[in-house]
């Protein structure tokens, strides 16, 4: 009896914690508050060097904590409550539905690379095919929940939505295309379809309060891992915003060529997703065009460290194939956005 009451109380506290962030976030959206730093180059330039990052970060901290708090809470909840055995089962089924599951569910719970690569390798080894595995590998970091929430807040829902849709479509097309190449087929042929017997996985169910606690703990773990890098990123971005010459951005990151440059820059550059978004925001403030912004955002999944770890599993030929395709798709998506939505 006492135990029951304790469980209910614990659940209530945790639910109100989640509700707090949801309400704050909705309030910010409805009230159209800016959740991103509003400092411009002019605000920052006159300051002493050491003060620039502090002013910028203070600016960020005033607005940004709602968005980050919401993002980490939601990421933790999804990671806990998405039915994982359902996802892995369908992704390795070798049927067309595996592409859909990879695209829609993959990004919802995959927030760190140490879960992503094992799933990628697992799908291949279990005979699910290189196509869905690659789709998952490309779409999970590009559209992951944390990145999406921050992109919506920092760059606006239009750019964010276009980025999400474009990244989803290109991941499916790239995955499928690579699976049809002669070397893709040859690679796949090494792995015979083997479904592990159903009896080997029997996940236990936990009471709701323990699941909620585990979700929030994971959100906290993510915050601990990501926030320090994020702060470092803000320091860099603040100097960037203060000193990077506007005319270079205006000259090279606008128009069709700007799209190509943005895709070239963002690809090999290893920037954690959240920092890429903030850096993108700084570039947009300095005059980067929307089309180039899309190309910039889509250049995430083929950075060099990622390519090295995947090449150990699938070999360089496949990595280079999808790298080139991903580059082409960032350019195409950027140009399409510029043509359809305009400046």
Partner 1 sequence: MSLSKTMKIEVIGPEPACTRCKSVMENAEKARTRVREKGIEVTVEKLNILSREVVKRYGVLVSPALAVNGVVKVMGRVPSKEEIERLLTSA
Contact status, residue 292 vs residue 261, Cβ threshold 8 Å: yes
Using rule CB under 8 A, residue 311 touches partner 1: no
Pick 2 or 204: Cβ nearer partner 1: 204
Pick 49 or 114: Cβ nearer partner 1: 114
Which residue among 49, 114, 189, 343 contacts partner 1 (CB under 8 A)? 114
d(CA 152, CA 185): 38
Task: Give SS3 for 300.
Answer: coil
138 contacts: CB under 8 Å, gap ≥ 6 = 167, 170, 171, 174, 175, 301, 322, 326
Using rule CB under 8 A, residue 228 touches partner 1: no
Distance of CA 126 to the CA centre of its chain: 26
Which residue among 24, 41, 100, 117 contacts partner 1 (CB under 8 A)? 117
d(CA 51, CA 33): 25
Which residue among 68, 71, 74, 79 contacts partner 1 (CB under 8 A)? 79
Which residue among 24, 47, 121, 231 contacts partner 1 (CB under 8 A)? 121
**Which of positions 12-41 make contact with partner 1 (CB under 8 A)?**
none
Best CA proximity match to 172, nearest among 322, 15, 337, 340: 322
66 contacts: CB under 8 Å, gap ≥ 6 = 21, 24, 25, 28, 35
d(CA 88, CA 337): 33
Pick 40 or 206: Cβ nearer partner 1: 206
Which class for 329: exposed (0-12), middle (13-18), buried (19 or more C-beta within 10 A)? buried
Pick 1 or 114: Cβ nearer partner 1: 114
Using rule CB under 8 A, residue 78 touches partner 1: no
d(CA 273, CA 262): 15
**Which of positions 171-200 make contact with partner 1 (CB under 8 A)?**
194-196, 199-200
Phi-psi region of 256 (alpha: psi -120 to 50; beta: other; left: phi over 0): alpha
Pick 68 or 87: Cβ nearer partner 1: 87
Which residue among 202, 247, 340, 343 contacts partner 1 (CB under 8 A)? 202
Using rule CB under 8 A, residue 3 touches partner 1: no
Pick 125 or 244: Cβ nearer partner 1: 125
Using rule CB under 8 A, residue 115 touches partner 1: yes
Using rule CB under 8 A, residue 103 touches partner 1: no
Pick 67 or 116: Cβ nearer partner 1: 116
Q: Which residues bind partner 1 (CB under 8 A)?
A: 79-80, 84-85, 87-89, 91-92, 109, 114-115, 117-119, 121-123, 125-126, 128, 194-196, 199-204, 206, 210, 214, 217-218, 221, 225, 313
């Amino acid at each position: 009896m006492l135990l029951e009451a304790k469980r209910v109380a614990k659940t209530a506290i945790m639910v109100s914690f989640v509700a707090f962030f949801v309400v704050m976030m909705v309030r910010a959206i409805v009230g159209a508050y800016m959740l991103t730093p509003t400092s411009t180059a002019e605000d920052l330039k006159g300051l002493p060097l050491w003060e620039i990052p502090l002013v910028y970060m203070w600016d960020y901290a005033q607005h940004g904590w709602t968005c980050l708090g919401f993002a980490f809470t939601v990421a933790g909840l999804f990671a806990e409550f998405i039915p994982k055995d359902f996802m892995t089962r369908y992704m390795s089924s070798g049927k067309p539905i595996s592409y859909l599951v990879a695209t829609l569910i993959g990004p919802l719970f995959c927030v760190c690379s140490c879960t992503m690569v094992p799933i990628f390798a697992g799908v291949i080894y279990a005979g699910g095919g290189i196509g869905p595995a690659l789709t998952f590998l490309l779409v999970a970091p590009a559209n992951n929940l944390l990145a999406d929430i921050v992109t919506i807040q920092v760059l606006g829902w239009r750019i964010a939505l276009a980025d999400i849709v474009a990244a989803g479509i290109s991941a499916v097309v790239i995955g499928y295309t690579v699976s049809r190449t002669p070397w893709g087929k040859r690679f796949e042929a090494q792995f015979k379809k083997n479904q592990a017997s159903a009896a080997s996985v029997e996940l236990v169910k936990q009471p709701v309060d323990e699941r909620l606690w585990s979700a929030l703990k994971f959100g906290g773990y993510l915050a601990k891992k990501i926030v320090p890098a994020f702060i470092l990123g803000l320091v860099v971005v603040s100097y960037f915003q203060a000193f990077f010459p506007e005319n270079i951005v205006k000259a090279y990151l606008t128009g069709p060529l700007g799209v190509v440059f943005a895709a070239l820059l963002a690809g090999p550059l290893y920037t954690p997703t959240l920092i890429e978004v903030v850096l993108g925001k700084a570039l947009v403030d300095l005059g980067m065009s929307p089309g180039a912004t899309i190309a910039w955002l889509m250049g995430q999944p083929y950075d060099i460290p990622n390519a090295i770890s995947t090449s150990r599993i699938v070999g360089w030929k496949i990595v280079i194939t999808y790298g080139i395709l991903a580059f082409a798709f960032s350019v195409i998506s950027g140009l399409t956005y510029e043509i359809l939505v305009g400046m």
